[in-house]
A and B are shown apart, each in its own frame.
Chain A
Amino acid sequence: MSLAKRIIPCLDVDDGRVVKGVQFVDIRDAGDPVEVAKRYDQQGADEITFLDITATAHERDTTVHMVEEVASQVFIPLTVGGGIRSVEDIRTMLNAGADKVAINSAAIFNPGFVKEVCNAFGSQCIVVAIDAKKVSTDGEPDKWEIFTHGGRKETGIDAIEWAIKMESLGAGELLVTSMDRDGTKSGFDIELTRTIADSVKIPVIASGGVGELSHLSKGITDGHAEAVLAASIFHFGEHTIEEAKTAMQQDGIEVRL
């Protein structure tokens, strides 16, 4: 027996409220992050990730209060991503009770930022989020590049080289999202996940495209990920975390049940 593979539900948060429809049958307020987080904790989620999609500074303050509320009632690791740009942003989130922050654009604008914040807060709390799209065509060797702005803007940065660079700058973990698969329910980009996971020593979280439970197992067994992140299959009550773990266990994967 050893380290369990992790399942991480991801919640979009706007102005301190959960958005994009969480639908549990027996929950009073699906927008209340504390209620939703508690439900996932009860189902056996290994961590919870909040993606802050708010635009204004005022809304951002609301998110900080939300993290405080959740952290005082839910005792599993919490990651906050979205709009993390400065040392102060990170300090604020950690002090509010977040355990990790996910950095995306800020790392692309200034890779030195990753090194700076890993030195300041420790690698254990710095997750670098990598949004990648396949740019090679059929017949060419696989190649993925980093995209920003929800997959609309290309950066010209090779995703695999970027992952290795982020590890060398101190990142504690990589959240790898396939922008080709995100929202398609057709499963992870396994080649992308595996190529990155096999290129670094730090854990990789697979993300983007989960539509059925078997996709989760494939992210681990074929994609070599340490953890899998999904949103909609859990939010809409299609499956509980517990069902997902049972399915993974049947596929021979060690999970925390």
Chain B
Amino acid sequence: MDQKLVAVVDYGMGNLRSVSKAAEHMADSNTRIVVTSHPDEIEAADAIIFPGQGAAKACMKALLDTGMIHPIQKAAKEKPFLGICMGLQVLMSHSDENEGIECLNVIKGNVSHFDLDSTPELKVPHMGWNQIHQSNEHPLWHQIPQDSRFYFVHSYFVEPDDAHLIAGETTHGQTFASALSSNNLFAIQAHPEKSAEHGLQLFKNFLQWNGK
């Protein structure tokens, strides 16, 4: 049986090591996890994990500098693709962060900041363990109980134009989309690599997913 190759995209941003370690922890002996910044390897991989941390502008610049924009846009339409945290946000068309920045436009919609005016008691960043309410059945939610807690760290959240893409919702002052799914793509605002058993289960589900 052919080995399955899963590429963790390295564009110089984020906690790659945590992500690759969690994926490796859940990978079977037939699956190889590679951390890569080569478009060829992205092209050759059977599945893609797209992490990210930090600011949207810095992420977009790093993607541009490493020549990753086109390979990522292409992979996000073609094969099992898991976006994590900033790797969810930069998939959108536009982010309000850093005075506004155009993003990858894989999913139509905006990235907005938590509304501090209407909820002055709110702590931002939204940091810690919060529940994800699964909006639909999805292979990546397999064996993860409804409303399980995941670890979040972020100040912005995604607002897809098409609400049907919302796979999970979380409430922090307001209810926001904490996971999106579209065909072969699944992206999550929380950090499954830091979310103990449920996060590891999500990696396991992703590694077994054929993208359908």
**A and B are partners in one complex rather than unrelated chains:** yes
Complex CA distance for A97 and B193, rounded to whole angstroms: 11
Min CB distance B125 to A, Å, is 6
Known contacts A46-B129, A75-B25, A202-B124; A1 and B53 CB within 8 A of each other: no
A157 within 8 A of B: no
Residue among A3, A72, A76, A202 with the highest chain B CB neighbour number at 10 A: A3
- With beta carbons under 8 angstroms apart, the residue of B125, B129, B194 that contacts A4 is B129
Complex CA distance for A183 and B54, rounded to whole angstroms: 36
Min CB distance B113 to A, Å, is 12
Tell me whether A97 and B18 are in contact (CB under 8 A): yes
Mask for B45-70, Cβ within 8 A of A = 1, else 0? 00000000111000000000000000
**Closest chain B residue to A77 by CB distance?**
B194
A-B contact pairs, 25 of them (CB 8 A): A1-B147, A1-B171, A2-B131, A2-B171, A3-B172, A4-B129, A4-B130, A6-B128, A46-B128, A71-B18, A75-B25, A77-B194, A94-B17, A97-B15, A97-B21, A99-B15, A99-B18, A124-B54, A124-B153, A201-B123, A203-B123, A203-B127, A203-B128, A226-B123, A256-B129
Tell me whether B128 and A3 are in contact (CB under 8 A): yes
Known contacts A2-B171, A76-B194; A226 and B17 CB within 8 A of each other: no
- With beta carbons under 8 angstroms apart, the residue of B21, B131, B196 that contacts A71 is B21
B22 within 8 A of A: yes
Majority SS of interface residues in chain B?
Answer: mixed
Q: Which residues of chain A are near B194, meaning CB under 8 Å?
A: 75-77, 99
Min CB distance B103 to A, Å, is 17
Complex CA distance for A164 and B124, rounded to whole angstroms: 14
Mask for A52-73, Cβ within 8 A of B = 1, else 0? 0000000000000000000111
Complex CA distance for A75 and B23, rounded to whole angstroms: 11
Q: Which residues of chain A are near B171, meaning CB under 8 Å?
A: 1-2
Mask for A1-16, Cβ within 8 A of B = 1, else 0? 1111110000000000
Q: Which residues of chain B are near A4, meaning CB under 8 Å?
A: 128-130, 149
Q: Which residues of chain B are near A201, meaning CB under 8 Å?
A: 116, 122-124
**Closest chain B residue to A5 by CB distance?**
B128
B151 within 8 A of A: yes
Mask for A99-128, Cβ within 8 A of B = 1, else 0? 100000000000000000000011111000
Majority SS of interface residues in chain A?
Answer: loop
B200 within 8 A of A: yes
**Closest chain A residue to B130 by CB distance?**
A3
Known contacts A1-B147, A96-B17; A72 and B129 CB within 8 A of each other: no
**Closest chain A residue to B151 by CB distance?**
A77
Known contacts A4-B128, A46-B128; A94 and B15 CB within 8 A of each other: yes
Complex CA distance for A123 and B55, rounded to whole angstroms: 9
A209 within 8 A of B: no
Min CB distance B53 to A, Å, is 5
